[in-house]
Structure 1
Amino acid sequence: MTEPPQQTAAFEGLTTLRVTEGADRVHVQLHRPAVRNAIDAVMVAELHQVCAELERHPRVLILSGTESGGKGVFASGADIAELRERRRDDALAGINSGLFARIAALPLPVIAALDGFAQGGGAELAYAADFRLGTPRLKIGQPEAGLGIMAAAGATWRLKELVGEPLAKDMLLAGRILSGEEALAVRLVTELHHPARLLPAAHALADRITAQDPLALRLTKAAFRAPREAHPLIDNLAQGILFESEAKSERMQAFLDRRENPRGP
């Protein structure tokens, strides 16, 4: 899909992000190339602004990085200059973890298109997405312990769920950085593409997602995120809502019509 460049008032004045809107998706490019897209307080605030808009008007979100010095960069991590000055109360405020939880909870799916460095907070941002696509030059991991801190924005639990405990410990405690091929082998990313094809692949995935019923997507994502003890009640309630929707009747009737007339009109 080729998007015409658009920007509504909701995204005016952003300095660390470049936003392109479509009717059914929003593409957000992290854009601090001089510091390899390090996530600073301004970027955090602007990503919250994006979340607020997508909570009001749900659309698929595509997150990507930039080219820096001829190399791809998703996000090299939190801004070290800011991080060095943070203290206990900053940690307790959950500056990054709160943002990433909000991104993970967006109504419709989030796609992270990962090229080059996705490390530290950049990797944790990627873990919060529903889908991760990569390139062969991807380098993803958690170097925090080498800086005297820990990965505290989701990696200690999301990474274990994504790749399993042994590899998660290797990344968190021994600083292992995965290549694109290694990330694909453990399904941390589901596809690898040449850098020039990464965004088209993300949009192709968004096309597949947006072909589904929006309400069914929202309720399925909500049910998927619910704790084990909430099932099957939450599934039954969500299905009850969908069974009463017009889209369910229309889509099922269209399916039956295609089966009866496979060649169409």
Structure 2
Amino acid sequence: MDYKNILYSAENGIATITINRPKALNALNTETVSELRDLVGKIAADSEIKVVVITGSGSKSFVAGADIVEMSTKNAVEGRAFGKIGQDTFTEIENMPQPVIAAINGFALGGGCELSCACDIRYASENAKFGQPEVGLGITPGFGGTQRLPRVVGRGYGKELIFTAGMIDAQEAYRIGLVNKVVPQEELMDTVYALAKKIAKNAPIAVQLSKAAINRGINCDVITGIAYEDEVFGLCFATEDQKEGMGAFVEKRKATFTGK
């Protein structure tokens, strides 16, 4: 598939997805979401990719939301279908084997905030703004916001953001735990790539199994989650990376992981 609204690059095991609709503040229309889902599927199946970074083009917006111009003419059936496309795509991002870092370089509103919540880690620039404005438009969040946002920041903050349709700045987002770090805009991508490289140097299978265990555990009771952790912990001992990692520790040398 040729992508009209997405830029993609990969280097040294780190993939970068850039939503590229700057004239629309990178708003997500059906075409963009479909492109994103196609690309995410390809990256997820690529064993050479260790970490994924998602950002928006320009200096004003990460993703300003779903495309309101497109949504404004939809009926109930079409609206539900559009929501399902977004939900399915963001769920695929959440469940990618690789860790996904959101580099939030501006507005992350509606679908943009929901996209960031589907990522594993969120770094923001100082000019970033967050919000779920949907109820002010007569709709609910539709790309997973009612479910993921309260899981990220807690029910109280999640409900306040959704019920008020308000907007918060990057420092407030950091205070409530919506983002991990806030940096000057000119430092955002370098800071994100430094984090990505730090993750990518570790044993890929162990990182991916850790992500799977965390995601599964959040959605079940702690005893079931611990049981799953026990399974993936044991599975690691069947990998070459486990032998290499522990051997390097014993031998006091730097480990070289192969993802096997």
TM-score (norm 1): 0.88
Q: 1:5-154 residue pairs with structure 2 within 5 A? A: 13-58=2-47, 59=49, 60-67=51-58, 71-93=59-81, 94-154=84-144
Return the alpha-carbon distance in structure 2 between the equivalents of residues 90 and 124 of structure 1: 20
Deviation at 1:189, TM superposition (A): 0.7
Structure 1 vs Structure 2: percent identity of aligned residues?
31
Return the alpha-carbon distance in structure 1 between the equivalents of residues 100 and 145 of structure 2: 17
Match of 2:163 in 1: 173
Deviation at 1:239, TM superposition (A): 1.4
Return the alpha-carbon distance in structure 1 between the equivalents of residues 197 and 122 of structure 2: 15
Which of residues 208, 216, 219 in structure 1 aligns to 2:209?
A: 219
SS state at 2:179 partner: coil
Q: Please, which moves more after superposition, 49-58 or 175-184?
A: 49-58
Return the alpha-carbon distance in structure 2 between the equivalents of residues 224 and 87 of structure 1: 38
Return the alpha-carbon distance in structure 1 between the equivalents of residues 201 and 156 of structure 2: 37
Are positions 1:243 and 2:245 aligned together? no
Contact 2:130 2:167 in 1 (8 A): yes
Structure 1 stretches (4+) deviating beyond 2 angstroms? 85-93, 227-233
Deviation at 1:117, TM superposition (A): 0.7
Return the alpha-carbon distance in structure 1 between the equivalents of residues 158 and 228 of structure 2: 30
Are positions 1:228 and 2:220 aligned together? yes
Equivalent position amino acid for 2:3 in 1: L
Give deviations 1:217-249, integer Å, cap 9, x for gaps.
Answer: 111111111132432221121112101211101
Are positions 1:252 and 2:242 aligned together? no
Structure 2, unmatched stretches of 5+, are 254-260
Equivalent position amino acid for 1:151 in 2: P
Equivalent position amino acid for 1:82 in 2: E
SS state at 1:182 partner: helix
Match of 1:209 in 2: 199
Q: Please, which moves more after superposition, 82-91 or 134-143?
A: 82-91
Give deviations 1:21-78, integer Å, cap 9, x for gaps.
Answer: 12411101111011110101111111112111112114211011122xxx42101100
Deviation at 1:176, TM superposition (A): 2.1
Equivalent position amino acid for 1:34 in 2: K
Return the alpha-carbon distance in structure 1 between the equivalents of residues 102 and 239 of structure 2: 31
Contact 2:44 2:98 in 1 (8 A): no
TM-score (norm 2): 0.90
Return the alpha-carbon distance in structure 2 between the equivalents of residues 231 and 33 of structure 1: 41
Structure 1, unmatched stretches of 5+, are 1-11, 260-265
Q: Across the two proteins, how many residue pairs are aligned to each other?
A: 245
Give deviations 1:109-134, integer Å, cap 9, x for gaps.
Answer: 00000021110111100110000000
Match of 1:6 in 2: none
SS state at 2:194 partner: helix
Return the alpha-carbon distance in structure 2 between the equivalents of residues 31 and 86 of structure 1: 24
Equivalent position amino acid for 1:35 in 2: A
C-alpha change, 1:149 and 1:14, in structure 2 (3 Å) is same
Deviation at 1:89, TM superposition (A): 2.4
